[in-house]
Chain A
């Protein structure tokens, strides 16, 4: 089934550890995004990529990094996790501007 796959679905992580959240899409979409959802704050953009080989910072990029080596994959890395990074993380992709973005099922991350 075409779509976006995120892994893992959930993770408990010790503070200070490094973690990479994986995201893969098979729709050949150019643009990909990482959002975090926190209670009362909605969906906030962390990083995005308009096409393979390019990335950009969103609203809350600090503590996160991304790479876009190819069209399909857009991993999000927490270099040294902190408790404030406890959140639900959503990866999304879109074909082009002014089209809807499709979201993955999310990764629930708890940093303790």
Chain B
């Protein structure tokens, strides 16, 4: 049973437009959510996070929105750039010392 779901395996966006990556979760104990970016042949790198006490967190071109009632979060990238082309993983953590649970990832392609 997948606790973190990224239902879109891939997404293509034109350069300069907004990219919206979506993530749903089922475990109501999750209280911390993260997005990671992964390039081929590299390890995932942390992008942005949000605590369950917030509904929005912004860092430059990246904004994460959290809708707890819908158990849904999204990552907005605006404007999208070709260097943003990568696989994006959504991850979540519950209370205590539980490890991160990852979604299957969404491959973003930003077309120049």
Contact = CB atoms under 8 A, between A and B. Distances in A.
B58 interface: no
CB-based closest 5 A-B pairs: A103-B43, A42-B104, A100-B46, A43-B102, A50-B97
Given A100-B46, A103-B45, A105-B43, A42 B97 contact: no
Given A41-B104, A42-B105, A104 B43 contact: yes
A50 B98 CA distance: 8
Interface residues of A, number: 24
Interface of A: 4, 31, 33, 35, 40-45, 48, 50, 58, 90, 92, 97-98, 100-106
A101 B42 contact: no
| Prevailing SS type, chain A contact patch | strand
Nearest to B35: A100
B89 A90 contact: no
A30 B32 CA distance: 18
B100 interface: yes
Contact of A97 (B9, B91, B93): B93
Contact of A100 (B34, B41, B102, B103): B34
A100 B42 CA distance: 17
